[in-house]
Structure formats: C-alpha cells, structure tokens
Amino acid sequence: MTPEMLKKARDNTAKLALGNVEFRLGEIEHLPIADATADVIISNCVINLSPDKSAVFREAFRVLKPGGRIAVSDIVLLQPLPVALLAVKELYSGCVGGASPVTVLSPWLADAGFTDIHIEPKPGSRELIREWAPGLGVENYVASATIQARKP
C-alpha cells in the first residue's frame, strides 16, 4: 500500500532468491490487476483495516479467475465491542477496532459472487489476543478466523 512496503517486499524476495513473484502498489479496494487474472488471493490481518470491507470482497471476485480462491486470516467480531474499546486507537491499528462481525462476512462474500464459503473462528487465538491489550478483555469480543471462498 506504500512505496516503503513495496521496497521491503522486493528486498525480501531478492534475499530469498524467489521467482515468479510480483508486487504492485495499490489499495485492497482497488487492486492494480486486470479482471480474471489471479488464481489465489491471500491476506493476513488486512481486511479489518479497510473502511469498505464488502468492496474488498467484490474486488477480490473481480480479479480472480473462474475457479480462483480467496484464503484470508483476519480478526472477526464475535460480539460487538463496547464503546470504550472502540475509542482505543491502538486497538484499531492492532486489528481489533476494525474487525467485522463474523455474521456479516458470509453475506458479503455471497453478494460478491463467491461460493463454497467457509469461515472458522479459531478459539485458541483468543489467548494470543489477550496479550495485545492486557486487562482490557478484548479476547472476549474478537478472535482470529480463517475465511475461504471460491469463484465459480
């Protein structure tokens, strides 16, 4: 999303001598890639930072080839965050404040056109999440989840 992130990714690719890897500068709601060109889209704790999460899924659908898959790990809301926790800006940048309710993810994916939708919150992730903000109880509201779907 930034030139600095792009440089770091390219430097890491060179250090690891990886081939068949390409990075492009862009935003997750407006991917700099042509329609139906990607086989797989992966993401780790990024969609929760988007202000328009349903647009992210529509955009993913657009760029995937037929039969393409999306495989995401992200923080999801298991229940609404209290107002006091929503006001903690560190929780937003730490993936918690922007988390989507787990109940809206399947409809967003289906509305984008995806099928074979599977969303699985990871109960064990709550232990790690507790460490992000000790004493605030955020682990009672969010969990990490695996989100997968396919473009028909």
pLDDT, tens only, 33-71: 999 999 999 999 899 989 999 999 999 999 999 999 999
φ, ψ for residue 112, nearest 5 deg: -75, -20
Joined together, the tokens standing for residue 117 give: 């939708």
User: pTM to 2 decimals?
Assistant: 0.87
* pLDDT at 34 (0 to 100): 97
Q: Which residue ranges of the chain lie beneath pLDDT 50?
A: none
Tokens of 99: 């988390």
What pLDDT does residue 39 have?
96
CATH 3.40.50.150 fits 37-150, yes or no: yes
> Domain locations in the chain?
1-32, 37-150
Per-residue confidence (pLDDT) for residue 137, from 0 to 100: 92
- Which residues, at least 6 apart from 86, have a Cβ–Cβ distance to it below 8 Å? 97
